Structure 1
Amino acid sequence: MKKVIVLLVVFASVFTACKTGKQEKVEVKEEVKVAEVVALNNVDLANSVISWKGSKPTGTHNGTIQLKESSLIIKEGALTGGSFVIDMASIKVLDIPADEKGNGKLIGHLASADFFDVANFATSSFVITKVENVENKLQVTGNLTLRGETKSITIPATIATENGVTTFTSETFNVDRTDFGVTYKSKKLDAALKDKFINDLMEISFVVKTKA
């Protein structure tokens, strides 16, 4: 009987966790001052991508953004620095077919002043300021700039080199958009929204490849 009760408690705990869908966000700190980053422009832009995902009570949207003028600094097989310039005008939505009206409507809204205000902030960026190896996994600290706001974050990542191409892959991490001035329909800032809010946490991940 005790075993049955324990199993029921475990099941209830798992069900509750899944239902709440709690996400952990990366800690944001003040921008780290760094010297000018060497622009190697050695990234294969066509085969590098940023993936994003946003959510609200009624569902999720996901897509990609492309890089431009980006660099990875590798010394003796180890990542030591780099910078990713993000072309905000390249944002794509993948969960709505490209030929459907809703696709263009969502892209337009994301590009508007409600979200990333692409007209005034055409690029975002991630500049690596420190790389540590912790239990065979990289802890990459860098200055993330979105909508003109810059914060220091640390994300887990890996690098691998094959046939002369080095690939930097971050784990999916969660950023609180309100830390970067993106406050549209944030329940944290407007409790009157009730269930009409958009989650503050955005999922982001990087896959960045160097040129062969």
Structure 2
Amino acid sequence: MKNLKSIALAFVVALSTLSVTAQTKKVDVSKSTINWVGKKVTGEHSGTVAIKSGALVFKKNALTGGTFTVDMTSLTATDLTGEYQGKLNGHLKADDFFGTDKFPTSTLVFKTIAAKGNDVYTVTADLTIKAITKPITFDIAVKGNTATTALKIDRTKYDIKYKSANFFEGLGDKTIYDDFELTVNLKV
């Protein structure tokens, strides 16, 4: 009987070491940034958009999950000032682009994560913009309380086709490229 109790205790101890609980780290939205760049034939525009909320999930210091909500109403150009900045910001928030009155937030939900080594992970996530959800894959580096990534997003997958050469002919130098770039720096 004593031997059976010892075996049972050893089994419980072994199971408890296997079940490591996840640690969720909330993103500090005041210290985290998302910078964007959109390019066209004749140049580019750049700016920022704010994170409304977010969290990264870890098990044994390894990244295992993440969810984010972006405040699309905060979308602003930083390469312009005054009247031109106001016009571009208004157009980006209009239905031609992100339609922020109807779609004030976008979301990103991590689905699969694979470690690449040196604190870098390949993430496949569901990105929702304008109520359209598509998978996206990118690498993210996590060091201490910071996570960084750079990714490209094809805007046309989210019904943002304004001046896309893939949908409109004869645009010439008025063409806006389909991909926009994001540089994300998260503090948790």
TM-score normalized by structure 1? 0.74
User: Which blocks of at least 5 consecutive residues in structure 2 are unaligned?
Assistant: 1-21
Query: Which residue of the other structure, out of 105, 120, 128, is the alignment partner of 1:123?
Result: 105
Letter of the structure 2 residue corresponding to residue 144 of structure 1: L
Shift of 1:194: 2.2
Which of the pair is proportionally richer in strand? 2
* C-alpha separation in 2, matches of 1:156 and 1:72: 14
Higher CA-based Rg: 2
Give the CA RMSD over aligned residues: 1.5
Quote the residue 2:16 is aligned against: none
* C-alpha separation in 1, matches of 2:173 and 2:37: 19
Shift of 1:75: 2.0
* C-alpha separation in 2, matches of 1:157 and 1:110: 27
Letter of the structure 2 residue corresponding to residue 113 of structure 1: D
Quote the residue 1:103 is aligned against: 85
* C-alpha separation in 2, matches of 1:69 and 1:41: 11
Native 8 Å contact 2:25 2:57 kept in 1: no
Native 8 Å contact 1:41 1:69 kept in 2: no
Compare 127-136 and 181-190 and name the one that shifted more.
127-136
Native 8 Å contact 1:126 1:145 kept in 2: yes
1:133 aligns with 2:104: no
* C-alpha separation in 1, matches of 2:133 and 2:183: 18
**Regions of 4+ moved over 3 Å:** none
Letter of the structure 1 residue corresponding to residue 105 of structure 2: T
* C-alpha separation in 2, matches of 1:50 and 1:128: 17
Percent of residue pairs identical: 38
- Is the partner of 2:160 in helix, strand or coil? coil
1:136-156: CA deviations, max 9, x gaps?
Answer: 331011101111111111101
* C-alpha separation in 1, matches of 2:34 and 2:117: 25
User: Which blocks of at least 5 consecutive residues in structure 1 are unaligned?
Assistant: 1-37
- Is the partner of 1:118 in helix, strand or coil? coil
Shift of 1:192: 2.0
Quote the residue 2:135 is aligned against: 152
Letter of the structure 2 residue corresponding to residue 42 of structure 1: K
Shift of 1:104: 1.0
Query: Which residue of the other structure, out of 148, 151, 162, is the alignment partner of 1:173?
Result: 151
Native 8 Å contact 1:51 1:205 kept in 2: yes
